[in-house]
Chain A
């Protein structure tokens, strides 16, 4: 798979995810993993060797996988239910809604290889709708980590949290972000850079592109606030208020803007702080192409984000 190899300094977040789950499992016998024949793609082979009784493979059956996860939670386990994000969220949508969220079952859903990581395989295998449709489900926490550190922190926080959580785990190579505050909390955004001219709100694989875009804009004298909103639901409204105070917001995500992070930010702004926005994301079903090509093609990179920012500032200034 073209997106799975990592250049120096770039990381596949699945490695951080399996490491975190395994560390948790060493310390807590309640931790189990549930998969749909996805031991390999979820990189859980070593977990299975270490904890053969705690790796539950239901076979190719996503509805049963999520239902079984809810049942394991009823039986006192903390299940990490892992499968390709596209199948986990779409095929088992009603199980996520009813068995996990509505029932408030303590299930941790991990959408592996999400976004357009399976580029060439096409829209059936892309998971770009997941945030939009899961965000519509009440009482379900939705987290889109940006890098290996945040992936591991999100996994640990989800295990400690009593309730259903969805974590979007990327296999797209990303750098480890430099950050001053190394604490993670569900529902708390991370301000990576201060700036008063415009805010870029990103999550997942787009955060490092947002920082690069901010660098490019800084060279043009534009001071950009960069906010990583990993937890899309429940969203950090204080961070949104601070972003809106700049007077212009660009959102960026490896997913549909419609209903995704872009939609979430727009809902807040429309209610509380109307500001002009641009949304960087996928407009709909993506065509075939490698994952890097698709990101490039749809402007999901630093150039695309910076371009959206310039366009927004120009429009605001009436240029």
Chain B
């Protein structure tokens, strides 16, 4: 069992000046973008659009907020992160490797036969994964259950669940939202990766989510809306000590699918898709600029 001293944000962040924290998250997010695009190019498949929209959120958590110990991935008092949008493993695996759950070189095995880096995360063989996800609508109820366990025990750990916005069309998400609101799970934070695109079209053209904040509020949640690509805003929303303690919090993170690569941004076609050599070179150049 890890002592609470071992459970701290990876890289020693989570403290210090806002400027230093933001700079660190930005640097890590940029590294994640470059790395996950390389993984997708190498594998010949992946979900770059959603990986890139989620990157700044995941980087803010893994490289600043989460109190975790990669050398003891199942420490009982660790903070939990659940990737409910389980197809975005490019971002998740890059963050897990960057945080030290496994060697960075293993990222090169992404989607290869027998790799631990499956298309969707598997906790039974990859440290740092809390629950297997992939089919949408699964991670959030599990995250609620973790928060209920913590509530019963009076534990200090926090639970963070990242959902896609299209994922909110699954009924199980609203079963979980209703119950979390009912239980007043103050240690639970859901981040909605609000890129407004699902696999084939816009969320609002497919099955309208708006007024999204009102929906969460009606289910008993504290709701804040932030720019999901602004680490300062994300860290402030995660840190917010003034947030109500008797309610779960929903952070609607407004994002851009494909963020950081100009030709991918806001293009539904890059939900899944693999850059060719020229596109990959251009993407890396843009991310280096």
Contact = CB atoms under 8 A, between A and B. Distances in A.
A complexed with B: yes
Nearest to B183: A56
B146 A74 contact: yes
Interface stretch (B22-30, B62-70, B133-141): B133-141
B138 A95 contact: yes
B123 interface: yes
Contacts of B196: none
A68 B142 CA distance: 5
Given A58-B179, A64-B172, A105-B131, A71 B144 contact: yes
A256 interface: no
A103 B133 CA distance: 9
Nearest to B124: A104
Given A58-B175, A103-B123, A103-B124, A75 B138 contact: no
A94 B145 CA distance: 17
A63 B122 contact: no
Interface in A101-122: 102-105
B122, B130, B179, B182: which has the most chain A beta carbons within 10 Å?
Answer: B179
A76 B172 contact: no
B169 to A, nearest CB: 14
A61, A67, A69, A95: which has the most chain B beta carbons within 10 Å?
Answer: A67
A70 interface: yes
Interface in B181-202: 182
Interface residues of A, number: 30
B149 A72 contact: yes
Given A59-B179, A63-B171, A103-B124, A71 B135 contact: no
B8 to A, nearest CB: 20
Contact of B145 (A53, A61, A71): A71
Interface residues of B, number: 34
Given A76-B76, A102-B122, A103-B131, A63 B137 contact: yes
A59 B181 CA distance: 13
A77 interface: yes
Interface of A is mostly: helix
A62 to B, nearest CB: 9
B5 interface: no
A168 B240 CA distance: 46
Given A72-B146, A98-B132, A99-B131, A67 B141 contact: yes
A71 B171 contact: no
B179 A103 contact: no
B268 interface: no
Contacts of A105: 131
B176 interface: yes
Contacts of B152: 32, 53-54, 77
Contact of A64 (B123, B135, B141, B150): B141
A77 B134 contact: no
B148 interface: yes
Nearest to B155: A75
A55 to B, nearest CB: 11
Interface in A28-76: 32, 53-54, 56, 58-59, 61, 63-64, 66-76
Given A75-B153, A103-B123, A103-B124, A67 B135 contact: no
Contacts of A102: 122, 124, 132
A99 B140 CA distance: 11
B148 A99 contact: no
Given A63-B137, A76-B76, A94-B135, 16 more contacts: A32-B152, A53-B152, A64-B144, A64-B172, A67-B138, A68-B142, A68-B144, A68-B176, A74-B142, A76-B153, A77-B152, A98-B132, A99-B131, A99-B141, A102-B122, A103-B132
Interface of B: 76, 80, 122-124, 130-135, 137-138, 140-150, 152-153, 155, 171-172, 175-176, 178-179, 182
Interface of A: 32, 53-54, 56, 58-59, 61, 63-64, 66-77, 79, 94-95, 98-99, 102-105
